[in-house]
């Protein structure tokens, strides 16, 4: 009889992972752990500073272009991606999509949206400004709108973003942006 | 003005859209003519029986300008929107195919757009889609490869540049009228008009709104939309629907994502002797209020499981007054189907061996 009780049946609907004493507190259908959002929200409150800092940081990275070239962008990829993953993971709950748009989204990472929207909030945002899918999480895009309000170039939130290139997932966005900037700089020099 | 409905060079050939139009559909013509459009939502059947779709579409026959075929709305599994649209166009109805990004990636979606356009679908509504957790199968994998904005851009690229996202060429682009959804009733409220602007930039030509039960809030939204000049770039259809009872309204408010129902509305229905009747009256009152707002081009009636009342609501609100009569148009490939069906109906015996022999000796088409 025990077998009959435990037999899984294809017709039994898969229930939501929530609700009884044996399920872990933070289980959710998309396996996101119920972490605190304090750091992420703090960053959005100080998005003006991070915008300034990111600008400086990008120029510093570009200054290092000869070094990256010497090491080789491909060889630098793994250690830089490692650092990027952990630094941005701590600050923005970065998901390493590989094509960072933080400066266009008020320093609130859009990949934390359960629908991974990169162009603004869905219609399901709760009246308290929390996420439709995860009622405990403040909507990424409500935060983005707040963050963009603090920033000098906050208007960037109004530009339409391209769909994510899934093949770049897990790679370093810092190196890619630097390589692109260096290429653009040398192209401009050649022209001049 | 008489419209040409067939390509003079051959009935099977695609017809050029009217100047300035991107589709051949009725909805676009009605909107561009400046008439107040009415669209309605079809309750998708949980069955494999085409007659269920025909039956549900028949109640909208003739007076609705577009029938929305939902794509697993609320993440609940139903007959697919492509399937419903194929059945509807077969019967001469004008569907609005909804595409949500929750279930399919960009490869599947682009294929479906081509398939639907080939079936005669003239209107496509691009949605992000509800999260899987609200539906009947919360264990499903949410895809969200594109979002509503990039979906709009994708379909527009296919239509205007005759190319896939990859840049590969299409021999015959899908002539569709592009739509999107708006929800003025969810935070961040300041961002919502800008989001509409973004959708227009991405290609939206008409938008349908979420259920509107808070007219003052909607007025405020429209004021800001007009300030941005968006009502001139896009046709805005307001979502309306009858509430069956105060209990149903409370349930909707707490369980359907993105629905905002003010307490006053629920109290009004609760206080009535006949809640269902009051719900209908409320819907008519809202239509009468919103149709006067500048920049509103039509209504979208969503009456889930109350579809039989839609006609009454539309009639009583009088939004179709002054409409030009409409003639059904013969689809461009319908004649081919009629011919083929005629052959089939004759019931002639077919001898496979003779037929394959004849087919094998057909003159070979020259290689290009």
Phi, psi of B225 (to 5 degrees): -65, -40
The fold of the B30-357 domain, in CATH, is TIM Barrel (3.20.20)
For residue A105, name the pLDDT band (cuts at 50, 70, 90).
very high
Contact between A132 and B134 using a beta-carbon 8 Å cutoff:
yes
Q: Where are the domains of chain B?
A: 30-357
Q: Does B84 touch chain A (CB under 8 A)?
A: no
pLDDT given at position B368: 59
Using DSSP, state whether B331 is helix, strand or coil. Answer: coil
pLDDT for A3-28, tens place per residue?
444 444 444 544 544 445 555 555 55
**Residue A142 within a domain:** yes
**Residue A106 within a domain:** yes
Q: Does B201 touch chain A (CB under 8 A)?
A: yes
CA–CA separation, B241 vs B310, rounded Å? Answer: 8
Going residue by residue through chain B, which has 368 residues, state the pLDDT in tens, using 9 for 90 and above.
334 445 556 555 555 566 677 888 889 989 988 899 999 999 999 999 999 999 999 999 889 999 999 999 889 999 999 999 999 998 889 999 999 999 999 999 999 999 999 999 999 999 999 988 888 898 899 999 999 999 999 999 999 999 999 999 999 999 999 999 999 999 999 999 999 999 999 999 999 999 999 999 999 999 999 999 999 999 999 999 999 999 999 999 988 888 999 999 999 999 999 999 999 999 999 999 999 999 999 999 999 888 889 999 999 999 998 888 877 767 667 888 888 899 889 988 889 999 999 999 888 766 55
**Residue A50 within a domain:** yes
H helices, E strands: number in chain B: 13, 8
**Residue A124 within a domain:** yes
ipTM of the complex: 0.86
**Residue A4 within a domain:** no
The residue range of the domain holding A55 is: 35-160+168-191
pTM: 0.87
Helices (H), B62-105: 81-90
| Mean residue pLDDT across chain A | 85
CA–CA separation, B365 vs B368, rounded Å? Answer: 9
Q: Does B209 touch chain A (CB under 8 A)?
A: no
List CB contacts (< 8 A) between A120 and chain B. 149, 191, 194-195, 198
pLDDT for B169-180, tens place per residue?
999 999 999 999
What is the bridge-based pairing of β-strands B95-100 and B123-127? parallel
pLDDT given at position B13: 53
Q: Which long-range contacts (CB under 8 A, 24 or more apart) does B140-143 make?
A: B140/B75, B140/B103, B142/A30, B142/A114, B142/A115, B142/B102, B143/B101, B143/B102, B143/B103, B143/B104, B143/B105
**Residue A75 within a domain:** yes
| Residues A101/A88, Cβ–Cβ less than 8 Å | no
CA–CA separation, B64 vs B311, rounded Å? Answer: 9
Q: What phi-psi label fits residue A172: left (phi over 0), alpha (psi between -120 and 50 degrees) or beta?
A: beta
pLDDT for A175-192, tens place per residue?
999 999 999 999 999 988
Q: Closest Cα partner for B184 from B231, B143, B123?
A: B231
Contact between A162 and B150 using a beta-carbon 8 Å cutoff:
yes
Q: Does B194 touch chain A (CB under 8 A)?
A: yes
| Residues B119/A90, Cβ–Cβ less than 8 Å | no
Q: Does B210 touch chain A (CB under 8 A)?
A: yes
pLDDT for B263-299, tens place per residue?
999 999 999 999 999 999 999 999 999 999 999 999 9
pLDDT for B233-252, tens place per residue?
999 999 999 999 999 999 99
pLDDT for B52-78, tens place per residue?
999 999 999 889 999 999 999 889 999
Q: How many residues does chain A have?
A: 192
Indicate the Cα dihedral angle B294, B300, B306, B307, nearest 10°: 130
Q: Considering Cα of A102, then A108, then A112, then A117, what sign does the dihedral take?
A: negative
pLDDT for A122-139, tens place per residue?
999 999 899 988 888 899
What total of structural domains would you count in chain A?
1
CA–CA separation, A120 vs A116, rounded Å? Answer: 10
Radius of gyration of chain A (CA): 21
Contact between A119 and B198 using a beta-carbon 8 Å cutoff:
yes
What is the chain A residue with the closest CA to B203? A160
Q: What percent of chain B has pLDDT over 70?
A: 92
B127 burial (CB, 10 Å; 0-12 / 13-18 / 19+) is buried
Q: Does B182 touch chain A (CB under 8 A)?
A: yes
**Residue A72 within a domain:** yes
Using DSSP, state whether B183 is helix, strand or coil. Answer: coil
């Amino acid at each position: 009889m025990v077998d009959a009780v435990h037999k899984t049946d294809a017709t039994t609907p898969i229930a939501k992972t929530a609700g009884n004493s044996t399920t872990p507190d933070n289980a959710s259908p998309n396996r996101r752990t119920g972490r605190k959002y304090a750091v992420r929200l703090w960053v959005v409150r100080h998005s003006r500073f991070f915008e300034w800092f990111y600008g400086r940081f990008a120029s510093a990275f570009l200054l290092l272009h000869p070094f990256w070239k010497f090491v080789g962008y491909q060889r630098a990829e793994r250690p830089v991606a490692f650092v990027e993953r952990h630094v941005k993971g701590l600050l923005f709950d970065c998901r390493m999509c590989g094509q960072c748009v933080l400066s266009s989204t008020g320093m609130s990472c859009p990949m934390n949206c359960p629908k991974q929207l990169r162009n603004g909030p869905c219609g399901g945002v709760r009246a308290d400004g929390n996420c439709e899918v995860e009622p405990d999480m403040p909507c990424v895009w409500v935060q983005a709108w707040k963050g963009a309000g603090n920033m000098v170039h906050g208007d960037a939130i109004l530009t339409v973003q391209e769909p994510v290139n899934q093949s770049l997932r897990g790679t370093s966005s810092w190196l890619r942006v630097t390589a692109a900037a260096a290429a653009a700089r040398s192209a401009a020099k050649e022209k001049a | 003005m008489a419209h040409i409905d067939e390509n003079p060079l051959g009935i099977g050939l695609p017809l050029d859209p009217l100047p300035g139009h991107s589709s051949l559909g009725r909805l676009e013509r009605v909107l561009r003519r400046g008439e107040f459009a009415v669209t309605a939502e079809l309750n998708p059947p949980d069955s494999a029986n085409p007659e269920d779709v025909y039956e549900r579409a028949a109640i909208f026959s003739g007076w609705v300008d577009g029938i929305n075929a939902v794509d697993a709305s609320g993440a609940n599994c139903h007959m697919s929107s492509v399937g419903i649209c194929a059945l509807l166009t077969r019967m001469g109805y004008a569907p609005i195919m909804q595409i949500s990004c929750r279930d399919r990636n960009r490869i599947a979606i682009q294929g479906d757009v081509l398939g639907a356009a080939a079936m005669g679908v003239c209107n496509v509504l691009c949605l992000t889609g509800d999260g899987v957790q609200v539906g009947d199968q919360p264990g499903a994998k949410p895809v969200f490869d594109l979002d509503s904005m990039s979906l709009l851009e994708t379909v527009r690229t296919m239509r205007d540049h005759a190319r896939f996202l990859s840049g590969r060429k299409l021999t015959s682009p899908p002539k569709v009228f592009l739509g999107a959804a708006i929800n003025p009733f969810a935070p961040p409220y300041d961002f919502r008009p800008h989001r509409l602007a973004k959708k227009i930039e991405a290609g939206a030509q008409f938008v349908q709104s979420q259920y509107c039960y808070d007219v003052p809030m909607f007025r405020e939204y429209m004021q800001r939309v007009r300030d941005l000049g968006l009502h001139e770039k896009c046709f805005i259809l307001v979502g309306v629907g009858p509430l069956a009872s105060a209990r149903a309204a409370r349930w909707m408010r707490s369980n359907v994502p993105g629905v905002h129902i003010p307490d006053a509305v629920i109290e009004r229905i609760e206080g009535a002797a006949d809640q269902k009747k009051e719900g209908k009256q409320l819907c008519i009152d809202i239509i009468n209020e919103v149709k006067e707002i500048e920049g509103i081009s039509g209504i979208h009636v969503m009456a889930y499981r109350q579809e039989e009342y839609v006609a009454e609501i539309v009639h009583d609100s009088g939004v179709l007054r002054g409409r030009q009569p409409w003639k059904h148009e013969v689809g461009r490939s319908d004649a081919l189907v009629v011919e083929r069906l005629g052959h089939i109906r004759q019931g002639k015996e077919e001898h496979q061996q003779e037929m394959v022999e004849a087919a094998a000796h057909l003159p070979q088409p020259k290689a290009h």
